[in-house]
Amino acid sequence: MLAEIGLPPGADVDRGSLEKAAKELKWELSHYDVLPDRVIVYLWPRAGGTKFSFTFRPRYGIKAQTAPSVLYDYYNPEARVVVAPSKFIVK
C-alpha cells in the first residue's frame, strides 16, 4: 500500500524520525520518499493496522493547509481513502 501524507508549505521533515519508524516497523514500512508537499510511504500493513509517526517543522510562519492525504493499494489504486487537508497556523 502507499500512503501519501500531505504536508503544509515550507515544512522540513525530520528524516531521522522516518528512519526510526522504519526500523521499529521492520518490514511493514519498507521505503519512503519526501517531496515538497507530501511524504510517500510504502507499506506492507499487517492485520489490525499499522501505526507510525514522524515529525516536521515549519520553516516560517504560515496560514495554509496541507495537500490531501491518500492511502491506496499499489495494484488497485481505485481502492483508496482520502483524508481532507489539515489547516496550519504558525506564527
Domain region containing 37? 2-48+59-90
pLDDT digits (tens, 9 = 90+) for 17-27: 999 999 998 88
Q: How many domains does the chain have?
A: 1
Q: How confident is the model at residue 16, as a pLDDT?
A: 95
Q: How confident is the model at residue 21, as a pLDDT?
A: 92
Could you tell me which of 15, 8, 75 has the C-alpha nearest to residue 38?
Answer: 8
CATH of the domain at 33: 2.60.40.690
Cα angle 21-45-65, degrees, rounded to a multiple of 5: 65
Q: How confident is the model at residue 39, as a pLDDT?
A: 96
Residue 48 pairs in a beta bridge with none
pLDDT digits (tens, 9 = 90+) for 31-88: 999 999 999 999 987 888 889 999 999 888 989 999 899 999 988 888 999 999 999 9
The answer to whether position 54 is within a domain reads: no
